């Protein structure tokens, strides 16, 4: 019956299907795990949820012998979490960075300029945590990461 429907190529397709499915499953399991966590809100609760998600994700993948790339992007009111003078989660960020040095904490420079203007300071007077990495625009950074296949979570 299949020979009539598909000819000889149909038999090849039927025989190759399990191999192709197994190859696809293997490729999926070997795909790198990459997570971007967005903190746009300024409450300590939102910041702590983001940090808890980082720890849980890193622990999970370590427990199954896999690696994961994690980047937290803080912008808008969430930018406060990466400020040295006002961060309510400063100690926790230092702890996470020490335990998981591969985690990147990206600080939106648009937000930094906005804070400086609102507080009547220069940008240089807005000091960031040593763990912070500057990105020009938090939203643009998240777009770029998602275009590269990163999974997006909003805290």
pLDDT (tens place) for every residue of the chain, 155 residues total: 545 545 555 544 444 445 444 444 454 567 899 999 999 999 999 999 999 999 999 999 999 999 999 999 999 999 999 999 999 999 999 999 999 999 999 999 999 999 999 999 999 999 999 999 999 999 999 999 999 999 999 99
CATH annotation of 32-154: 3.40.1260.10
Q: What is the pLDDT of residue 98?
A: 98
Q: What phi, psi does 73 have (nearest 5°)?
A: -115, 120
Q: What is the dihedral of CA 108, 111, 115, 117, to 10 degrees?
A: 120
Summarize pLDDT for 35-75 with one digit per residue, the tens: 999 999 999 999 999 999 999 999 999 999 999 999 999 99
Sign of CA dihedral 117, 120, 125, 130: negative
pTM above 0.85, yes or no: no
> What pLDDT is stored for residue 13 in this prediction?
47
Distances (CA, A) of 69 to 36, 63, 126, 145, 155: 8, 15, 28, 11, 17
Question: Which single residue is written with the structure tokens 């039927």?
Answer: 14
């Amino acid at each position: 019956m299949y020979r009539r429907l598909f000819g000889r190529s149909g038999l090849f397709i039927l025989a190759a299907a399990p191999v192709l499915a197994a190859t696809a499953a293997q490729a999926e399991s070997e795909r790198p795990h990459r997570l971007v966590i967005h903190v746009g809100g300024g409450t300590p609760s939102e910041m702590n949820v983001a940090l808890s998600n980082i720890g849980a994700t890193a622990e999970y993948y370590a427990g199954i012998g896999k690696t994961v790339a994690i980047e937290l992007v803080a912008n808008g009111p969430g930018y406060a979490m990466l400020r040295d003078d006002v961060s309510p989660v400063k100690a926790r960020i230092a702890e996470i960075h020490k335990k998981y040095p591969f985690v990147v904490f990206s600080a939106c420079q648009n937000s930094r300029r906005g804070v400086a203007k609102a507080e009547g300071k220069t940008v240089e007077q807005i000091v960031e945590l040593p763990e912070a990495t500057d990105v020009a625009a938090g939203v643009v950074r998240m777009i770029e990461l998602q275009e590269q296949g990163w999974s997006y979570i909003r805290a």
